[in-house]
Structures are given as C-alpha cells and as structure tokens.
Chain A
Amino acid sequence: MTSRRSFLKAGTAALGAAVVGPRVLPATPRPPVQERRTLYTDPATRELMMEALDAARRAGASWADVRISRNRANSIQTRERQVTDVVVSDTIGCGVRVLVDGCWGFAATEALTKAGVGSAAQEAVAIARANRMAQDRRVTLAPAPAHPDVTWKSAYTIDPFTVPVEEKADLLLRANAEALRAPNVRFVNSGLSFVKEERNYANTDGSVITQDYVRSWVTLACTAVGAGDFATRGPEVVQPAGRGWEYVLEADIVTNARQWGEEASEKLKARSVEVGRWDLILHPSQLFLTIHETIGHATELDRAMGYEANLAGTSFISPPEKVLGTLKLGPDFLQVVGNRSEPGALSTIGYDDDGVQPEDFPIVKDGIFVDYQTTREQAPWLAWWYTKQGKPVRSHGCSYAQSWADVQFQRMPNVSLQPGARDLSWNDLIAATDKGIAMIGRASYSIDQQRYNGQFGAQLCYEIRNGRIVGQLRDVAYQMRSPEFWNSLDLLGGKSSYMLGGTFNDGKGQPGQSNAVSHGCPPARFRNVNVINTGRAG
C-alpha cells in the first residue's frame, strides 16, 4: 500500500485517471460525426413510418411524427469470484405522436405491420381528440428544417454487442480478483452495461432520420470491512460514456482495481470530518453531478414553466422574464454551454426526437444566465427573448424519449462547465489551497425540487493543509444553496484538466423516463462551503 505522501507525489495524476477513466476529452467540442451513407433505413421501415404518418393525417392530425426503434441492452453483473447475472434485452416497436387542433396524442405498439402502426396512429389521434375537452391553449411547434434521409452514428469503434459474454465476464472477474487483494476488502461487485439504439424517425415535415447510438458503463464497488465497520469505494469508478467496448478497455479496470480496493480500505481508518466551513476542490468525477443537479435541471424550460411541477419540480431559475440576461449565477469567468455534440458524451446525438439537428448554445455566459434547454414546443415560449437577442426562434434540440414506447419530451443535453483561461491542474488547485477538502467521485446526492438546497457527498475525501493532502476524511457532505455555491467559485482548472462525467440513468417525467447525460468540467474550487458530518447527522 502506498503511503499518503508517496500517493501525493506520484499518484495524483494517476488517481484522476483512475477515477474517471484514462480518456480526457478535448475541451473544445467538435461537431458530431456526420455520415451520408445509409446505415439502416431499409425500405420496409421507411414504408411503415410513412404509413403511420399517412394514417395519422387521414385520421385528422395536423402534424405527426413516428419512431420505429430497436432498443438493446446488455448487462453482466458479478460479485467477488462469480457471475451473478447475464441479461440481454432486445425490443422493437413503434411510437406515433400527433397534434390534433393543438392537442398532443401518443400511442405505442409492438405490432410492426401496416395495420399495427396505422391503428397506433388512430389511437394517438383519438387520445388527442379526447383531450380537446380540457384544452385551453394550442400547442405550436417552432419551425425546423426537414432532414430527408440523413444518418448519424455515435463515437464508438467496437460495438459492445459483438464482444462475447465470456470476454466480458473474464474482464470483470480479473478486476474483482485484483480488488480483493487489497487489505480488508471482502466484497466486490462489478458490472458492465451497454445500450444500443437503432433509431428511425420520420415526421410530416419530411424528415427521415436513422441513427445508431451506443453507450457503455462499467461499475465496480469495493467494500472493506473492519471491526464493526465497513466502507465502500465505487461503484461509479469509471464514467459512463457514449462510446463502445474500446472505452471499457481503455479504462483498464484490472490495473486500477487494486487501487480502488486500497482506497476503500484506507477509508476505514479515515478521520471523521469536523463540521464547518471548508474550501472544496471538486474533481470532475464529483463536480459533474453538482452541475447536473444545480444548473442542468434548473435550466430545463419545462421545469421553469411548471410542466414538471407534479414530480421533478420547478426551478429557482424562473420565471424566464425575470432571469434571462439578468440572473448572476456565478463569477464572470463562469461559462456553461449546452450541447449534444461532444464526442463520447452520453447526450450526444445527430438529431433529436423532434427531428431537430441540435445546436451548441450558451446557458451561462460570463456568469449571467442567458438561455434554457428547449424543444420545438418550448422554443416559442421564449420568442420575446430570442427576438430581443436577434436570434431565430428555434429549438436547441433537447427532445428525447427513452424508447419507442415512451413519448418524447424535453431532456437534458450535455451541460458542460468550460475550463478556465489558465491551464491549471488538479494538483495546482490543491497546492493553492491552505485548508480544504478535495472530493472525488459521486456518492450521495440530494437536492430540492427547485434546485436550491443540495447535499452532496463523495467517494473519496482528502484533507488539504497548506497546499498538501494530509490524509483521507470520511462522513463528509457539503450542504449548499445553489446561487451562493456558484458565486463562491474562485478557481477553475484549465483545458488539460477538463473531463466528462456522466450518469447512465437520469429520471424525469410522468411516466418516469431515463436519460443518459454527460457533463464536461475541469476541477474547481469553491470557498467557505458548509460541510456537515453525515456520521453524526442523525
């Protein structure tokens, strides 16, 4: 086991790599890979989609779209020296969405025949018609250019669905064995999860879109057991990504597992934190989820307008007319962008589920809140703002449905905090801090329904004294109020420290749907944040 001092000298860069995977993605988003060759759009699928649109029109829809997709998932789970579950899921179906007199209707079917999709279209129209009795205002969609016959593929090179199950099991079991070599580590749970979506979309504007989307996730949790005590490192030790099997291999979990195990073991001996105000240095593997909770969700326009009030909640960044262009969310150097274009990020896609090609857009510019995440239904709600800015009223391309069986609505793009102007590293931030806590890896997360009051923990917390890490702390969580928290930001890592963190399953909506989303960010320092001791909290 390395001493803390040698860990500090030799290991901090490696530690960062171990936490988030070795892949450091470029700070400047590149445009998505666009391909003009036909991937999947076979004539039969196109014909069914056209039939669904025609049936919707015949039944009285003024506008309609249709998705026929194949959703595949592949999961293998292990504990210690054994595989506990191997599951492959493969479903195919069709979802038809219609507007009738400005009312939405949606129906999904597994019957992939002309009659089947036609009757789904009719059912969607019938639902929309029925809802007119309770209608007050008509839905209108922002115009969007049609994309006839386009395709897109996400940034993977090895399709994880082509990798044999025994190879996956072998990788996990070898990693488990390494983790179990660490002192006190008695339990290891690990898993691989993959999703592949063959997405076909068409709408009555004339778009016909086929996309191939893959995402990958590897988890590993080591539990060290001491006298009447236990401590866990993981399971999110590698960030999920919109990439393939090559990403799993790059993460090198077999080499890193021993270190994760040792970190769990060290945690047993860690000092319990003193409550009070601390400077925090948040690693991208921890900070990404704070960005997600406090800025990501708070800048969803449906939330701000009350459309998620019954469950997910509303937003402290509202109403739009009182905050757009005026709310100071952080220091002048705070820049946050929404995008669906960062290669390897989970929300990256060529075309959204409204048929819109997403654009990159600023959410926080020079510390001021300037825009929300939108769909075609929502963009017109901000027409006054876009007109004032001299911008067209168009969707940012944030429409998404988790499968053909679910209706699309506004979901989060990658919401990323841009790196600082100086190329500071994680170590530079630590060296610049007299008394603080460096926090790595997502752990317990909770925030209120308007995204004000958050309490966030971490997998690993290190005490900083006079610019050096002096040891692990445990029972640490920071409890904050979002606006003050972001205004306490005083130091950002630079371009080379920028990384993507992500979540495979982000819930929203009724019925609940899951979305996968990444957040790029550098490490960052926040001053005088309230830290509580969760070991004594009760």
Chain B
Amino acid sequence: MEPRRLLVSATQGTAPGDVLSREEAEALIGRALGMSKADAMRVNVLHDRESNVRFAANQMSTAGSSSTTTIRIQSVFGRRRASVVTNSRSDEGLRRAVEQSEALARLAPEDPEYLGELGAQQYVAVPAWFDATAGLSADDRAKAALSALAPARAANDLTVAGFLTTRARATAIGTSAGLFAYHRDTNANYTLTARTNDGTGSGWAGATANDWGALDFGAVAARAIEKARGSRNPVALEPGRYTVVLEPDATSDLIPLVAGALQARAAEEGRSAFAKGGGATKVVERIVDERVTLLSNPADPLILSTPFDNDGMPLGKQTWISGGVLSQLAYTRFWASKQGKSPTGGAGSLRLEGGSASLDEIIAGTERGILVTHCWYIRAVDQRTLVYTGLTRDGTFLIEKGRVTRPVKNFRFNDSPLFMLNNLDAIGRPVRTVSGDAMPPIRVRDFHFTSLSDAV
C-alpha cells in the first residue's frame, strides 16, 4: 500500500486567465534549485491554461478548461543524470521531485554525451502574448461555435463539426549554472469541417493566431461550407502522376517532413535521406529546385514561437536550404561539439520562402491539375528517400484552364517531399498555416497518386 500521497500536494492557485509570471517562474525554479544537492540541475517549467469547445453533428459537444503545470527537474552527478516530472508547485512536492531525481541520477549509468548545463544566455523577445486571448470566456467560445452552427442549422444540406482551443502558456527554464529563460504566449486555433447531408461532400478550413481578435470565424465557415458544397459528387480520376496545387495547409503537411530529416547525426551516421555514405552528407549540394529556401525562425512575425529549446539554448534564424542547396544540417549540442560545429537547435518554426502569388493566382496559372486542401494520415514508407504515404481530404478538385472545374475523389499518394520540391512549378506567398508554420501555396509536377479513396 502506498496510498494517500495523493492529497499532500495542494498547489497554490493562479487566477483564471493568468499564467506564471516571470517573477513567479523564477521564484519557483529558484526554490527547486535551492533544494538541489546534485552537481548540476536543470528545471523546465510549462504552465498551460487550455480552454476549448467542440461541436459536431450540428450539436454542441464537449467543452472544458484545464490548468496544468509541468515541472521537469533534471539532476546530474558527474555524467549521471535523470529527470522527474511533477505538477506540484508546493515545497513538499518540489522537494520530493528533487530528491527522486537525485536518487535516480545516482543509479543511472553515465551518459557520455552529457555536456553540462548552460549558463546565462541572451534571447530575442518574441511578442506572442495577447491579453484578449488569455482573457477569453466560455461565452466567447460558445459564440464562436454558434457562428458555424447557426448557418449550418439554417441550411438544410449541411452538418458541421468544429473545434476551438485557446491557450495561455508560460515556459521557463533555469539551471544551476545561472541560466534563466522565460517566454509566455497565447494561441487560438480554430478548425471547421462542413459535410453535406447527402454524404458526398466535405470541406475543411481553419485559422490560428496568437491574437484572438485576428481570427475571422465567418471567413473560416464560408470557406469550409463552400468547399463542402463544391465537393459534392466527386468524379473518379485514374491514379497516376498529376500536376498538383497544394494549398498552404497542404504544403504545411508535407514540408516539415523534410525538416524532420535534417538531423546531422543521422546523416553522418549513414541513415538518412541526406547521407552519402562514409560519413559524408549532401550539405552544399543542390537537392531541390533553386526557388526553394527553407528556414527556421521563432521570431518570424507569422510564427511567433518559443525562442529557446529545452536546454535553454537560444533559437535564432537558421537557413537549412538556400536557393535549392542544402546549406546545413541540424546539430544538437553534443553532436556539434563532437563534429566541431555550432549547435543549431532543431528544425522547427518553419518558413518556406516563396514569391508573391496568392493561391488564386497560382490556380489561375494552372492549365490542368489537382487542387489539394489538406492531407491526412501521412506516414513514412522509406526513410532512405523520404517517401511518405498519405491521402488528400476535405476538398480535392480538378483545375482546368486556370479554373476549379469539378470535385474529384480523394487520392492516396506515395511520394517524397524531396521529389516534390524538385518538381516545383510555382511557389506563392507564405501565410500562417493552422499548424503554425509559414507556408506558401505551391504547384508541383508529377505528384504521385497511387490509388483512389472512397472516403469523403
């Protein structure tokens, strides 16, 4: 029996809408560091207030709110290290976590890749906090739901399902070497699927913003409904290689797959699409069309993400692919030190640079092609080539002579984003996608659809 420790960890509350302030986070981390008997310690804190509403089948569904604190304490003795995660902010809860992490660390085998904790760092300020988002009420969220439910109920041919989530978060890191990092952000994310009641049409649209006030609920509903009605009774086209226009959210489904394969270590170990064998990589080689430039930047106005990683290392602008050339790979602190490089952080907060064309202009310039709204269930099938499979979903259309002419059945694809970026035909203006990246609409040739799906 080891009961009833459940209740000894009552935590001090924070007013609704608030998250830990810089001072509160610093004090919390300071308390944990003060309890440490280890050679080194790192404390990562995430305080997350999430509120949401769901609706489906033209009905309200679940709705809720949660406030969670994730405190990760890593204790280190020499090169032995272990982490304990707790959600207790009380002295007693923190002490228990500190002691447990120390006990585990003493027993853990040495980690030869441990490099020590970082000292104080400089971070760019990313203005991602908006009071309007943090202070939203359940009424505000219900009204947003109603903005899609009302037109759907009024029409007799539509059923909608949607999800609105708003977050207010504080992220902080402190180390025994003197590092302290703090960032807070808000986010509102809304997605909507409209389906026609005959079961043959489905349309999806979404929007995300740090500032609640920047979300246009009416525009999202109009787009999803237009796509749903427009996609009714799709025709079956033969699977094969097609010119494809990817809307920004579809681009956003595929481009991060390239970013995920950028780890230098895997490439230099010979198990990556960017490996050449013998420890060599494809860095400085032209790997895709010369119009492709891919970079990471948390401070990008379209992205606004956290300007440090879990080690507390500052994340700045990194260019991965420049003018079609693989300019660098992503180095962790350990792999960078081993290979004599600078650590880069991972390839997140992505922007695919583009031109100035809008989606409509790209469609208008397409002689014949398939328009893809977004993709679904994408899984790797071959890491050597970055071939992935997945499906189109919620709005797949034929473009003829610059105009969307008719809906087509969904396709399954088997293709690599690297092949795709080699077959680039046109690239438009990046926008913020629902997943939070900055991605343009693009047109690519010879995209490989391998079968049809009956799914609507």
Contacts and interface: CB of A to CB of B under 8 A. Distances in A.
Interface of A: 39-40, 42, 44-45, 48, 68, 70, 73, 82-93, 95, 97, 103-113, 116, 123-124, 126-131, 133-137, 164-166, 169, 173, 186-187, 198, 200, 223, 225, 227-230, 232, 305-311, 313-314, 316, 405-407, 409, 444-453, 455, 457, 475, 477, 479, 481, 510-511, 532, 534-535, 537-538
A409 B187 CA distance: 24
A166 B63 contact: no
A452 B453 contact: yes
Interface stretch (B126-134, B361-369, B374-382): B374-382
A127 B193 contact: no
A82 B113 contact: yes
Find the residue from B58, B101, B163, B414 having the highest chain A CB count within 10 A: B414
Interface of B: 1, 3-7, 9-13, 16, 50, 52-70, 72, 81-88, 97, 100-101, 104-105, 107-113, 137-139, 141-143, 145-146, 149, 153, 159, 161-163, 165, 191-193, 195, 202, 204, 269-271, 276-277, 376-385, 387, 389-391, 393, 410, 412, 414-416, 419, 448, 450-456
21 contacts: A44-B6, A82-B111, A89-B85, A90-B84, A103-B60, A104-B61, A107-B65, A123-B65, A130-B141, A130-B142, A223-B271, A309-B193, A409-B62, A449-B391, A449-B393, A450-B456, A451-B455, A479-B412, A511-B165, A534-B382, A534-B389
B4 A86 contact: no
Given A45-B7, A106-B62, A452-B453, A310 B193 contact: yes
B6 A42 contact: yes
Nearest to A113: B10
Contacts of B12: 111
B192 A127 contact: no
A135 B110 CA distance: 58
Contacts of B86: 89-91
A350 to B, nearest CB: 18
A402 to B, nearest CB: 12
A13 B55 CA distance: 50
A537 B277 contact: no
B57 A106 contact: no
Contacts of B146: 133-134
Contacts of A537: 381-382, 387, 389, 414-415, 448, 450
Contact of B11 (A103, A106, A111, A448): A111
Contacts of B70: 91
Contacts of A511: 50, 52, 165
A311 B191 contact: yes
Nearest to A457: B381
Given A166-B107, A309-B193, A448-B453, A134 B6 contact: no
Contacts of B153: 136
A88 B82 contact: yes
Nearest to B100: A88
Given A48-B7, A110-B11, A510-B52, A130 B65 contact: no
Contacts of A136: 58-60, 149, 153
A74 to B, nearest CB: 10
B270 A225 contact: yes
A372 to B, nearest CB: 15
Nearest to A159: B2
Contacts of A45: 4, 6-7
A303 B427 CA distance: 36
A93 B13 CA distance: 13
A479 B450 contact: yes
B393 A448 contact: yes
Nearest to A42: B4
Given A136-B153, A165-B82, A126 B138 contact: yes
Contacts of B138: 105, 126-127, 129-131
Find the residue from B53, B67, B69 having the highest chain A CB count within 10 A: B67
Find the residue from A40, A103, A130, A135 having the highest chain B CB count within 10 A: A130
Contacts of A91: 68, 70, 85-87
A257 B161 CA distance: 47
A510 B163 contact: yes
A131 B53 contact: yes
Contacts of A538: 382, 385, 387, 414-416, 419, 448
A91 B146 CA distance: 35
A342 B204 CA distance: 39
Contact of B451 (A44, A90, A475, A479): A479
Contact of A448 (B107, B145, B270, B410): B410
A44 B10 CA distance: 13
A307 B57 contact: yes
Contacts of B192: 310
B64 A107 contact: yes
Contacts of A229: 384
A78 B139 CA distance: 48
B159 A306 contact: yes
A510 B159 CA distance: 18
Nearest to B159: A306
Given A105-B64, A457-B381, A537-B448, 11 more contacts: A48-B7, A111-B10, A131-B142, A165-B82, A166-B107, A198-B6, A230-B383, A313-B376, A448-B412, A510-B163, A532-B414
Contacts of A165: 82, 104, 107-108
A44 B7 contact: yes
A82 B109 contact: yes
A39 B384 CA distance: 51
Contacts of A48: 7
Contacts of A225: 269-271
A227 B277 contact: yes
